[in-house]
A and B are shown apart, each in its own frame.
Chain A
Amino acid sequence: QKEVEQNSGPLSVPEGAIASLNCTYSDRGSQSFFWYRQYSGKSPELIMSIYSNGDKEDGRFTAQLNKASQYVSLLIRDSQPSDSATYLCAVSRGDFNKFYFGSGTKLNVKP
């Protein structure tokens, strides 16, 4: 079983719609969760971190964490073509900040 699982996509949504990206993790001891966006040929850039159960909002982005279900998601409201990228979920158990990355979900936002 992989540490972190994501649907590879592609997930296609029309411009202006809500994009919902999901991630599950296997280790109940995981405590820190991150979403990164990666454009083709570029490096990952942080979208959001979340540490506690519930929702965390930042602009058009909302991260949701449910530790009981071992599930973390990212919602993108009012999706724009510029949001088209691969979204990486990363999970840490606190062992020297070692991140376990999911395989990423490719998002396509159609104009």
Chain B
Amino acid sequence: DTEVTQTPKHLVMGMTNKKSLKCEQHMGHRAMYWYKQKAKKPPELMFVYSYEKLSINESVPSRFSPECPNSSLLNLHLHALQPEDSALYLCASSQDPGTTSPADTQYFGPGTRLTVL
């Protein structure tokens, strides 16, 4: 089973709201990722968690705050977003954090379609 789940499927929020995206995997994977994808563009890496510790932050604005409460769960807290943050937010996981080569396959969840009004 290579399932990554994400909730909610769709989210509409105002610029002053606080909301959270949730991602879960039960494959025993030790690395989890957040990506942002705009229409007709490839996924853009935001954060990487390796063994529940933040290992990569791709200079993401502080209005996005990731959290990894345990090895199966990844959250993305959203606050004071801008309309240009509207996008598909994808979570992914991989067995190995990639500290040794070769890199491990990343499995993507279905995504959360976020609209910021």
Same complex for A and B? Answer: yes
Interface residues of A (CB under 8 A from B): 31-32, 34, 36, 41-46, 49, 51, 88, 90, 92-99, 101-104
Contact between A98 and B56, CB atoms less than 8 A apart? yes
When the two chains form their complex, are residues A97 and B98 in contact, meaning their CB atoms are under 8 A apart? yes
Check B50 against A46 for contact (C-beta < 8 Å).
no
- Pairwise interchain contact B42-A96, C-beta atoms closer than 8 A: no
Chain A residue contacts of B109, Cβ below 8 A: 43
A44 to B106: give the CA distance in the assembly, Å.
10
- Closest residue of chain B to A52, judged by CB? B102
Size of interface on B: residues with Cβ below 8 Å to A? 30
Q: Which of B40-65 contact A (CB under 8 A)?
A: 41-43, 45, 48, 50, 55-56
Q: Please measure, in the bound complex, the distance between the C-alpha atom of A108 and the C-alpha atom of B103, giving whole angstroms.
A: 30
Across the A-B interface, give the 6 residue pairs with the lowest CB-CB distance, nearest first. Answer: A97-B98, A92-B103, A101-B42, A32-B103, A94-B101, A32-B102
- State the CA gap A93–B106 with chains docked (Å): 14
Complex alpha-carbon distance, A99 and B48, angstroms: 11
